[in-house]
Structure 1
Amino acid sequence: MSVTAIILTKNEARNIADCITSIQCADEILVIDDESTDETVSLAESLGAKVISHPLQNNWAQQRLFAIEQAQYEWILFIDADERISEKLNTSITKVVKEEKRAYLLERHNVFHHNKATHGVLRPDRVLRLLPKDGITIIGYVHEKISSPYSEEKLQGALYHYTYDNWQQYFNKFNSYTTLAANRYKDEGKSCSFVRDIMLRPMWAFFKMYILDRGFLDGKIGFILSINHYFYTMTKYVKLYYLLKSNGKL
């Protein structure tokens, strides 16, 4: 049983080397690059990765499906450029791909340069990232859902996610993701109520992250991230509201 690790990139020169060198469990490292203008491609190739240029076109699902088609081996490991495979997780992956086919959930831990957040928005979560190639389905433009016909199990070892370098990067992604979410909701025929979705839903989003998911235990950064989650929720529905009302124009 052999593994292809798939990394989707766009100007990830600051991350790609550390990401690739952390992967010790794959027989092939496949980088699908969205026309980077920095040194992403040359760095990846210098570390032995196979790089294929393919435009993202704001559709993460189609990009992953394209990548699967290019994969040489029967097990797929999805990893983002800002993630790192721990030593324990490498060992676990090497072991389980020799056994019966299953789909595996990896425990993702979020890491900052100078802050720590282990509750609320950035609490550790489980993500489906290791699975047999056959039968994979992926839907959604952004925060796409990966599914498999195989039974799911948890895998030992941490997947480290290095979140954001600065607030500019954070809000650039905030703006991009809320636009993609609004467009997806529109394509799916989702309605939008001003009171329910723009006034009330963001309040619930904040309450859930700050109180129920204990974001308050992370101090200042926990409060900031919970408030930002309020505005993230509101913004995607504001964009949807005006897409439906006036095709996005004010």
Structure 2
Amino acid sequence: MISAVVVSHNEGHLLDACLKSILFCDEIIVVDLESTDNTKEIAEKYEAKYIYHQKVPVVEIIHTWIQDKTKYDWILITDPDEVCSNDLSKELLEILPSVPLDIGLIDVPWKFYFGNHLLKGTQWGGVQRRVFLVNKNRFIFTKEVHRGRHLKKGYKPYIVKNKGNNFVHHFWMQNLRQLTAKHKRYLNREAESRYNSGERSTIKQILKTPLNEFYSSFWIKNGFKDGFTGFFLSLFWAWYETKAKLKLYIYSNKIKQNNLMF
């Protein structure tokens, strides 16, 4: 038995395909973050449990709140811009009944699109991985952006191998405006999240980051295979990582100064 959770804010135009792809789940919950579009109508179309919730800066906040409200222990975490392939849904239904009791999550292949372009390279391209199903009794949700999901001690992941068509389609970004707005929102919480996970940065690291990250994304991770899109996204990634490390450096120094005061 699976409960699916989808958090949406004005993404009704994407939500239809998402919900249609997860109808194999036994419960579907749509958490609507103050949408003004047709999100509610789409949720009702697929007989999903609809919850209206005040808008929050990052989705991890909702995941920590919703985990005790699902009907079933296995929770499928997805976004409105994601579509589970038929091959993957069939494989998950085959896997779950016989999954060992020490398995706390199921990790699946994941492919990103920019607009309608399937990314071959860059930081986001090729076959990525993502935690798709978690057992709420064997897993910890936190509010940390990008780092908010952890297995409890004694449990391990089940890795679904890439077979070509068994993956989650991630219709990640439609345009530059969406890309910039979403990552600026992430940056507001990135420093605290990285600091809490033990990461630190120095001026020397910050200065090296733009060139190193662009080179990694465009050449090592094959961003050149995506042409101008790959070049642009590699530049964007270099900017984001530099900004994140700078914010981490400032945040760390602020914590250090506060500790010295006391």
Which bracket does the TM-score occupy, shorter chain normalised? Answer: 0.7 to 0.9
Report the Cα distance in structure 1 between the residues aligned to 2:219 and 2:81, rounded to whole angstroms: 28
Report the Cα distance in structure 1 between the residues aligned to 2:134 and 2:240, rounded to whole angstroms: 31
Q: Give the secondary-structure state (helix, strand or coil) at the position aligned to 2:13.
A: coil
Q: Does 1:146 align with 2:120?
A: no
Matched residue type, 1:139 = T
Aligned with 1:137 (options 140, 147, 159): 140
* Residue in structure 2 matched with residue 15 of structure 1 by the alignment: 14
Q: Give the secondary-structure state (helix, strand or coil) at the position aligned to 2:137.
A: coil
Q: Is the 8 A contact 2:74 2:136 kept in 1?
A: yes
* Residue in structure 2 matched with residue 37 of structure 1 by the alignment: 36
RMSD of aligned C-alpha atoms?
A: 2.4
Deviation at 1:129, TM superposition (A): 1.1
Q: Does 1:72 align with 2:96?
A: no
* Residue in structure 1 matched with residue 228 of structure 2 by the alignment: 220
Deviation at 1:228, TM superposition (A): 0.8
- For residues 96-126 of structure 1, the C-alpha deviation after alignment (integer angstroms, 9 at most, x for no partner) is 1211243311101112344342112122211
Deviation at 1:191, TM superposition (A): 4.9
Report the Cα distance in structure 2 between the residues aligned to 1:46 and 1:189, rounded to whole angstroms: 44
Matched residue type, 1:81 = P
Report the Cα distance in structure 1 between the residues aligned to 2:14 and 2:32, rounded to whole angstroms: 13
* Residue in structure 2 matched with residue 176 of structure 1 by the alignment: 185
Q: Give the secondary-structure state (helix, strand or coil) at the position aligned to 2:50.
A: strand
* Residue in structure 2 matched with residue 110 of structure 1 by the alignment: 112
Q: Give the secondary-structure state (helix, strand or coil) at the position aligned to 1:134.
A: coil
Report the Cα distance in structure 2 between the residues aligned to 1:114 and 1:50, rounded to whole angstroms: 30
| Structure 1 spans left out of the alignment, 5+ residues | none
- For residues 43-70 of structure 1, the C-alpha deviation after alignment (integer angstroms, 9 at most, x for no partner) is 2123211012234533433311222211
Q: Is the 8 A contact 1:58 1:141 kept in 2?
A: no
Normalized against structure 1, the TM-score is what?
A: 0.87
Q: Is the 8 A contact 2:115 2:175 kept in 1?
A: no
Segment drifting more, 10-19 vs 137-146: 137-146
- For residues 177-225 of structure 1, the C-alpha deviation after alignment (integer angstroms, 9 at most, x for no partner) is 122213434666865433322x112322212212221212222211111
* Residue in structure 1 matched with residue 241 of structure 2 by the alignment: 233
Distance 1:130 1:190, change over 3 A: closer
Q: Does 1:27 align with 2:35?
A: no
Q: Give the secondary-structure state (helix, strand or coil) at the position aligned to 2:31.
A: strand
Report the Cα distance in structure 1 between the residues aligned to 2:136 and 2:175, rounded to whole angstroms: 36
Could you tell me the percent identity over the aligned residues? 24
Segment drifting more, 50-59 vs 171-180: 50-59
Aligned pair count reads 245
| Structure 2 spans left out of the alignment, 5+ residues | 256-262
Report the Cα distance in structure 2 between the residues aligned to 1:241 and 1:38, rounded to whole angstroms: 39
Normalized against structure 2, the TM-score is what?
A: 0.83
Matched residue type, 2:213 = A
Q: Is the 8 A contact 1:179 1:236 kept in 2?
A: no
Matched residue type, 1:19 = C
Q: Is the 8 A contact 1:60 1:144 kept in 2?
A: no
Distance 1:46 1:140, change over 3 A: same
Segment drifting more, 37-46 vs 86-95: 37-46
